[in-house]
Amino acid sequence: MEKNKKIILGIIIAIIAIVGVIAVIGIISEDKTPHVSMGGKTYYVGDKLVYQDLDNKSMLEADVIAIEGKYLWSRIPENNKTVYWDTEKEQGWTINNTNT
Protein backbone atom coordinates (compact mmCIF):
# COMPACT_ATOMS: atom_id res chain seq x y z
CA MET A 1 0.00 0.00 0.00
CA GLU A 2 2.83 2.39 0.95
CA LYS A 3 4.58 1.65 -2.37
CA ASN A 4 1.40 2.49 -4.34
CA LYS A 5 1.09 5.85 -2.56
CA LYS A 6 4.70 6.70 -3.47
CA ILE A 7 4.08 5.77 -7.11
CA ILE A 8 0.91 7.89 -7.27
CA LEU A 9 2.69 10.81 -5.57
CA GLY A 10 5.57 10.47 -8.05
CA ILE A 11 3.17 10.55 -11.00
CA ILE A 12 1.41 13.65 -9.63
CA ILE A 13 4.74 15.44 -9.12
CA ALA A 14 5.83 14.49 -12.66
CA ILE A 15 2.60 15.87 -14.15
CA ILE A 16 2.95 19.14 -12.21
CA ALA A 17 6.58 19.44 -13.35
CA ILE A 18 5.66 18.87 -17.01
CA VAL A 19 2.85 21.45 -16.87
CA GLY A 20 5.24 23.92 -15.22
CA VAL A 21 7.90 23.44 -17.90
CA ILE A 22 5.31 23.91 -20.67
CA ALA A 23 4.07 27.12 -19.01
CA VAL A 24 7.60 28.51 -18.69
CA ILE A 25 8.38 27.72 -22.33
CA GLY A 26 5.17 29.47 -23.40
CA ILE A 27 6.04 32.59 -21.41
CA ILE A 28 9.62 32.71 -22.71
CA SER A 29 8.66 32.20 -26.35
CA GLU A 30 5.80 34.74 -26.34
CA ASP A 31 6.42 37.60 -28.78
CA LYS A 32 6.45 40.78 -26.70
CA THR A 33 7.40 43.06 -29.60
CA PRO A 34 4.51 45.46 -30.29
CA HIS A 35 2.77 44.42 -33.48
CA VAL A 36 -0.63 44.73 -35.07
CA SER A 37 -2.44 43.06 -37.97
CA MET A 38 -4.23 44.99 -40.67
CA GLY A 39 -5.38 43.87 -44.09
CA GLY A 40 -4.06 40.37 -43.55
CA LYS A 41 -0.51 41.57 -42.77
CA THR A 42 1.31 41.92 -39.48
CA TYR A 43 3.23 45.16 -38.92
CA TYR A 44 6.05 46.00 -36.52
CA VAL A 45 7.69 49.38 -35.84
CA GLY A 46 10.10 50.05 -38.70
CA ASP A 47 8.08 48.15 -41.33
CA LYS A 48 6.89 49.72 -44.60
CA LEU A 49 3.15 50.20 -45.04
CA VAL A 50 1.83 50.61 -48.60
CA TYR A 51 -1.68 51.95 -49.07
CA GLN A 52 -3.86 53.87 -51.51
CA ASP A 53 -4.60 57.51 -50.75
CA LEU A 54 -8.34 57.84 -51.33
CA ASP A 55 -8.11 61.59 -52.05
CA ASN A 56 -5.89 61.33 -55.12
CA LYS A 57 -5.95 57.55 -55.73
CA SER A 58 -2.15 57.31 -55.57
CA MET A 59 -0.21 54.55 -53.82
CA LEU A 60 1.81 55.76 -50.84
CA GLU A 61 4.57 54.11 -48.84
CA ALA A 62 4.90 54.99 -45.16
CA ASP A 63 7.15 53.91 -42.29
CA VAL A 64 5.47 52.43 -39.20
CA ILE A 65 6.69 54.66 -36.34
CA ALA A 66 4.53 53.53 -33.39
CA ILE A 67 2.06 50.84 -32.35
CA GLU A 68 -0.23 50.95 -29.34
CA GLY A 69 -2.98 48.39 -28.93
CA LYS A 70 -5.06 48.34 -32.11
CA TYR A 71 -3.65 51.68 -33.30
CA LEU A 72 -0.71 52.31 -35.61
CA TRP A 73 1.07 55.51 -36.60
CA SER A 74 2.97 55.83 -39.87
CA ARG A 75 4.99 58.62 -41.46
CA ILE A 76 5.20 59.31 -45.18
CA PRO A 77 8.85 60.27 -45.88
CA GLU A 78 8.11 62.32 -49.03
CA ASN A 79 5.88 64.89 -47.31
CA ASN A 80 6.54 64.09 -43.62
CA LYS A 81 2.82 63.58 -42.93
CA THR A 82 1.81 61.32 -40.06
CA VAL A 83 -1.14 58.98 -40.48
CA TYR A 84 -3.09 57.52 -37.54
CA TRP A 85 -4.60 54.09 -38.23
CA ASP A 86 -7.44 52.19 -36.58
CA THR A 87 -6.44 48.67 -37.59
CA GLU A 88 -9.82 47.13 -36.78
CA LYS A 89 -11.59 49.51 -39.16
CA GLU A 90 -8.58 49.50 -41.53
CA GLN A 91 -8.88 53.28 -41.84
CA GLY A 92 -6.24 55.95 -41.52
CA TRP A 93 -6.40 59.68 -40.90
CA THR A 94 -3.73 62.31 -41.48
CA ILE A 95 -3.20 63.89 -38.07
CA ASN A 96 -0.46 66.43 -38.71
CA ASN A 97 2.14 67.80 -41.07
CA THR A 98 5.36 68.17 -39.10
CA ASN A 99 8.56 69.96 -39.98
CA THR A 100 10.88 67.42 -38.34
Digit-coded pLDDT (tens) for 56-75: 788 889 999 999 989 999 99
Buried b (16+ CB within 10 A) or exposed e, 2-34: eeeeeeeeeeeeeeeeeeeeeeeeeeeeeeeee
- Round to whole Å and give the CA distance between 18 and 51: 47
- Look at the pTM and tell me if it is higher than 0.75: no
Residues of the chain with pLDDT > 70: what percent?
92
Element containing residue 38 per DSSP (H, E): strand 35-38
pLDDT at 100 over 80: no
Digit-coded pLDDT (tens) for 9-30: 899 999 999 998 888 887 777 6
Domain ranges of the chain: 1-30, 35-97
Identify the residue with better confidence: 52 or 29. 52
